[in-house]
Amino acid sequence: MCRNIRTLYNFEPPATDEEIRTSCLQFVSKLNGFARPSKPNQLAFRRAVEQVEQAARQLLNFSREAEAAKARARAANRFGVSERRRRA
Question: Which pLDDT tens digits describe the chain residue by residue (88 residues)?
Answer: 456 666 676 667 788 899 899 999 999 999 988 888 889 999 999 999 999 999 998 888 877 778 778 888 888 888 886 555 555 5
Residues, the chain: 88
Q: What is the DSSP string of 13-35?
A: SPPPHHHHHHHHHHHHHHHHTSS
Q: Which pLDDT does position 1 carry in this prediction?
A: 47
Three-class secondary structure of residue 68 per DSSP: helix
Supply angle C-alpha 40, 43, 49, rounded to 5.
130
For the entire predicted model, the pTM comes to 0.66
Delimit the domains of the chain by residue range.
17-87
